[in-house]
Amino acid sequence: MNKNKIITSVILVLIGGLIGYGINDKPQIIFENVQDQKSEVVEDNAPLDLTNLWKVYNILQTDYFDATVFNSQKQINGAIKGLVESVGDPYTVYMSSEENSAFKTSLAGEFEGIGAELSIRQGALIVISPLKDSPAEKAGLKSGDIIYKIGDEFAGDMNLLEAIMKIRGPQGTYVNLTILRETEAEPVELSIKRDTITIPDVDYKELEGDIFHISIYQFGDNTSLEFQNIIQKLLLENPKGIILDLRGDGGGYLESAVDVLSEFVLGEKEAVKIKYKDENKNYSLYTKNKGRLKDIPLVVLIDSGSASASEIVAGAIQDWGRGIIIGEKSFGKGSVQELDDLENGASLRVTIAKWFTPNDRTIQDVGIMPDQIVEFTKEGYEEGMDSQLQAALEALKIGNGK
């Protein structure tokens, strides 16, 4: 098993025992030759009885009426998924080779699908926002929509990863969604043609008064490099203020978040505390003494779609007093996952720690509360008005940025 990157993303939310018995090597042999045997895993000196697991597998394999639906690897994946889901943590997820490939592709900034950011709230699959100019936006999907059905399947029966995998698909194919919308008395049916979705990790534009608006859409593979390139361009313009927009940013790689923070302060400042079950493993990450933007007034925009890595950035800026936070309370994901690569392209995304802000605040299920609360209304958006961005611009004009 190879250790991969530390991730904090909420999007694609997204064993050990079974792996130890050679499932990765020859799964069909492992199960087909079992006859009421007991396998033991020593965990705190207590044996784990897997007799019923083998017995159920054998009964299904030999007696289940429709043999066409029985596939050893499919059942193995199902067993592992059930084991992982039993811990009750939506961020600890087993991903098959196909799901793992899609997850890594999305962090690289390109995938095939409809282009919408999703989350699960109170058991419902919610649209956080459709991406600009995406198939989802063009088909009429809106922020706040509840996806009730994907094709003929109820979305409420799926976890977030399963729902995303069903909505994604090859370019040119269609997915049918049944939507519940607050303003509509009846469900809305949408048929959306999938396309290749390319998401820049970072982009920017100049607003009035030499104030620049930098949007970070995710903390992915390319975020650090794209952010560095933008800074080089910005500094040539002598900016008078920066609006760092983290709205709808569901997270990503922890190191990318620290790289971004490093540009706003000088020296090696504590950016985030990582706390494990074993306190001896606890550590902090520090900024990297870059600070090219340290003297430029800063406002950070957040909303309910800002999660994990976004909250690390907003939380550190708030604790340092480096800028002011405007918008709505963030999502509240204070856990850290590690992506462990398994055999055959599969992976296990497992919660290994909790993170805390420099002032030792946890935001798990609480979120970051803005210094200035400004609600974003769908009516305003449809009229081309962004009240939160406007509030950030006004704050910088009157010198409230730090």
Catalytic residues: 308, 333, 337
Q: Are 343 and 318 contacting, i.e. CB atoms less than 8 angstroms apart?
A: no
DSSP 204-234: EEE-GGGEEEEEE--B-TTHHHHHHHHHHHH
- Structure tokens given for 345: 């392209």
Q: Are 330 and 311 contacting, i.e. CB atoms less than 8 angstroms apart?
A: yes
- Structure tokens given for 8: 């904090």
Q: Which of 122, 178, 182 is nearest to 379 (CA)?
A: 182
Q: Are 345 and 2 contacting, i.e. CB atoms less than 8 angstroms apart?
A: no
Q: Are 70 and 61 contacting, i.e. CB atoms less than 8 angstroms apart?
A: yes
Cβ-based neighbours of 25, under 8 Å, separated by 6 or more: 343
Direct distance between the N- and C-terminal alpha carbons of the chain, in angstroms, rounded to an integer: 45
- Gap between the Cα atoms of 149 and 207, Å rounded: 41
Encoded amino acid at 292, one letter:
R
As a dihedral over the C-alpha atoms of residue 384, residue 385, residue 386, residue 392, rounded to 10 degrees, the angle is 130
Q: Which of 20, 14, 1, 165 is nearest to 92 (CA)?
A: 14
DSSP 86-137: TT--TT-EEE-HHHHHHHHHHHTTEEEE--EEEEEETTEEEEEEEPTTSHHH
Any idea how long the chain is?
402
Q: Give the phi and the psi of residue 10 in degrees, each rounded to 5.
A: -95, -20
Q: Computed from CA positions of residues 217, 218, 220, 223, in that sequence, does the dihedral angle turn out positive or negative?
A: positive
